[in-house]
Amino acid sequence: MNSRHGQSTFGPAPSVLVVEDDPDLSTALVEALRGAGYRSRGVFTALEALRVIAHDEPDIVLLDLGLPDLDGADALRMMRGASNVPVVVATARRDELRVVQLLNAGADDYLVKPFSVPVLLARMGAVLRRVRGSGESGPRVVSLGALLIDLGLRQVHVDGRPVALNRKEFDVLRYLAEHRDRVVPRAELVAAVWGRDHSGREQSVDVHVSWLRRKLGESAAVPRHLLTVRGVGFRLVEQA
C-alpha cells in the first residue's frame, strides 16, 4: 500500500528505501536515517527495490546508480513506469549531462558521492516537503506568467480569459503544475492521471496534451508554457 494514501507496514514515520549494493555503506545509511527519525530499510539490487515498491511503496527512495543487476538509470525508468515515489539518485559521476538525463528520466534530486549525512537529510527533507505540499487540500493558485491555475477551484485563465477544460485535461495540467520544477515523464503522467493500470495510455496522454495546448492558445511547434522533451515527457514553464 502506498504510505501516502494509507497505513504502510513501514509505519507512520517517513519511510526510506535505500538501494545500495555496498553492504557496509547500505548499513551505515540505514542506521543514519533511522537515527534521524526515518523508517529505513536497505536492498542490494534494482529488482529487489522494484518488488518493495510494488508491494509496500516507501515515502522516498535513495537509489545508487552502480547496481549489479540493472543500470541505475534503467532502474529509475522502471520505477517511474510503476510508481510516483520520489527518488533521490546517488552517483559517483559529476558529469552535468548525466545529471540532466537522470532528472529528465524522473529523479527528484541527486547526490554526488561521497556525500555527508546532513546533506542527504537536507535533500531528502526538501523532496518530501515538495511531495507533501503538492497533496495539500484547499484552494491553491499556481501563477506561471500569463497562465493562472486555481488547483482548488479547478479553474484556468490565460491572459485573464477563462479556459474551459474537461476533467482529464485539467488533471494533466494540474499534475504538471504541481511538478513544474522538473520534466514529468509520460509514464509518470499517465499513471498519475489514468491510474496504475495504464497500459496503452501513452497515446491518450499525447492526445490530451495536444487538446490542452490548443485551449491554452499554443502548439507543440510554438510552445508558450507546455514544453515537450523529446523521448521523455513534458514540462510546464512560466514562459518558453
Q: What is the mean pLDDT of the chain?
A: 82
Confidence grade of residue 7 (pLDDT, cut at 50, 70, 90): very low
The cell numbers describing 136, all together, are: 495539500
Domains of the chain (ranges, CATH numbers): 15-133 (3.40.50.2300), 141-236 (1.10.10.10)
Grid cell 549489479 in the structure block, residue? 68
- The mean per-residue pLDDT over the stretch 81-99 comes to 81
Closest to 234 measured CA to CA, from 100, 104, 78, 109: 104
Of residues 64 and 80, more confidently modeled: 64
- The mean per-residue pLDDT over the stretch 180-198 comes to 77
Q: How do residues 135-186 score in pLDDT, each as one tens digit?
A: 444 447 888 889 999 877 788 999 989 998 887 888 899 999 988 878 888 8
Say whether pLDDT at 133 is over 80. Answer: no
Q: What pLDDT score was predicted for residue 127? A: 83
Of 76-80, 119-123, 201-205, least confident by mean pLDDT is 201-205
Distance CA 185, CA 105 (A): 7
Say whether pLDDT at 8 is over 50. Answer: no
Q: What pLDDT score was predicted for residue 9? A: 36
Global model pTM greater than 0.75:
no
Q: How do residues 41-63 score in pLDDT, each as one tens digit?
A: 999 999 999 999 888 878 899 99
Q: What pLDDT score was predicted for residue 201? A: 62
Of residues 174 and 201, more confidently modeled: 174
With beta carbons less than 8 A apart as the criterion, state whether 157 and 146 touch: no
Q: What pLDDT score was predicted for residue 217? A: 93
Q: What pLDDT score was predicted for residue 200? A: 57
Percentage above 90 pLDDT, the chain: 31
Residue type, 174: R
Percentage above 70 pLDDT, the chain: 88
Helices 167-178 and 202-216 sit at what angle, rounded to 10 degrees?
90
Give the length of the chain: 240
- The mean per-residue pLDDT over the stretch 8-25 comes to 77
Distance CA 96, CA 67 (A): 21
